[in-house]
Chain A
Amino acid sequence: MIKQGNVETLVVLQPIAVDTGSSDRTGMLVMANGMLVAVLIRLDAPEHENPQGWFVEAAFGRLQGLRVPAFDTLEDATRWLRQRLKP
């Protein structure tokens, strides 16, 4: 487990394989304060606009329904999620 916390929200990433119906299958469960808030997926299929980027495949609660472009790195994605989850 990778812990990337700050004062407001403790965000924890947990690797998981995800069936997206494509070759994108490396994922991370994103937990905030012990609850699942999003699933990130690494874009491994070569046809993607930004291959190897990280994409918010699914999101819950306050993050639900947001359409965001893929992030270049896992760190960028996590930073964005943490900002969005600030109380």
Chain B
Amino acid sequence: MQDALIRKLESFQELTNEDRGALNSLVPRFRHVGPRTDLIREGEPPEDIHLILDGYACRYKVLPDGQRQIMAYLVPGDFCDLNVFILDQMDHTIGTVTACQVVDIPRHAIEAVMVDRPHVTQALWRCALVDEAILREWLVNIGGRPANQRIGHLMCELLLRLEAVGGVRNNSFSFPFTQADIADTMGLSNVHVNRTIQELRAMGLIALKQRVLTILDVGRLKAYCGFNPNYLHLRNSRWSTGRSVSWLSSGSGG
């Protein structure tokens, strides 16, 4: 479970044993947080950095009329707020979807690792940049794709992100989101979410049973929603080859 972070960072770039040791020292203990519980709320000052080791969480905001908008799903290995600690207060809330194992990393520990381990620093920057890239893709998704492709796209993305941290078996993974969660993520109504999932089922692209999603035909689902995994910047994904960056491996962190 603790290796979710290392697996994720290694999906971006190679790490040395010393790098792995430094990362392991960041996560000496984790705590259990129940489902549907806020880790930090909008307006609160960010202190520790939260890392999800197990379970799913999300970023969201609530509009004055009570409408919730989810802006990100956080899966094992994801930092909730890698850079937010530089800001004075949270501009959104982070809450769990399922029960989670969460690590609270003091900011000075992250700062120390960033000084000592250049490879780790690069990998953490990549995390932050990829988070931004995902947000850009979600913007395109909500603004540019019809409902059925939107949800299919989210499913493809989760498949790859979870695969990178060992959360996928036989194209199946935990999908604990309610119709309301997906509706609040995609800017759709519950009814449209329901119809879309039925449509994806009827097309033989997915199966969803007891909150486990199986992508029955990855290639077809990917083609159906025009999924291009480039924005995830994964090194070892089955859909992308990545690129070797010489200036990263020639750094002094080895």
Using a CB–CB cutoff of 8 Å, the interface residues on chain A facing chain B are 20-22, 24, 43, 45, 47-49, 55, 57, 67, 69-70
* B141 at the A interface (CB under 8 A): no
Please tell me if B194 contacts chain A, counting CB pairs below 8 Å.
yes
Q: How far is the CA of A77 from the CA of B198 in the complex (A)?
A: 25
**Are A20's CB and B195's CB within 8 A?**
yes
Chain A min CB distance to B210 (Å):
15
Question: With A67-B67, A67-B189, A69-B190 in contact, is A45–B179 under 8 Å at CB?
Answer: no
Q: Is B116 an interface residue (CB 8 A)?
A: no
Closest to B191 in A: A55
Give the distance to chain B from A83, nearest Cβ to Cβ, in Å.
Answer: 15
From B67, B183, B189, B194, give the contact of A47 (CB < 8 A): B194
Task: For the complex, give the distance between the alpha carbons of A55 and B67 in Å.
Answer: 17
Contact with A along B168-196 (1 / 0, CB 8 A): 00000000000100010000011100110
Please determine whether A45 and B198 come into contact, CB atoms closer than 8 angstroms: yes
Q: How far is the CB of B211 from chain A (nearest CB, A)?
A: 15
Q: Which residue of B lies closest to A67 (CB)?
A: B189
Interface size class of B (residues with CB under 8 A): 10 to 19
- The answer on a CB contact under 8 Å between A45 and B190 is no
Q: Find chain B residues with CB under 8 A from A43 CB.
A: 191
Residues of B contacting A45 in the complex (Cβ-Cβ under 8 angstroms): 194-195, 198
Question: With a CB–CB cut-off of 8 A, which chain A residues contact B195?
Answer: 20-22, 24, 45
Interface centre among A20, A24, A45, A67 (most CB of B within 10 A): A67
Assembled-state Cα–Cα distance A67/B183 (Å): 10
Given A24-B191, A47-B194, A48-B194, output 6 extra A-B contacts at Cβ < 8 Å: A24-B195, A45-B198, A49-B179, A49-B194, A67-B67, A70-B191
Chain A residues positioned under 8 Å from B191 (CB to CB) = 24, 43, 48, 55, 57, 70
CA distance in complex: A80, B139 (Å):
32
Residues of B within 8 A of A55 (CB): 189, 191
Q: Return A52 CB to nearest CB of chain B, in Å.
A: 13
What B residues does A24 contact at CB under 8 A?
191, 195
- Can you list, as one digit per residue, whether each of B144-162 has a CB less than 8 Å from chain A (1) or not (0)? 0000000000000000000
Nearest B residue to A55 via CB reads B191
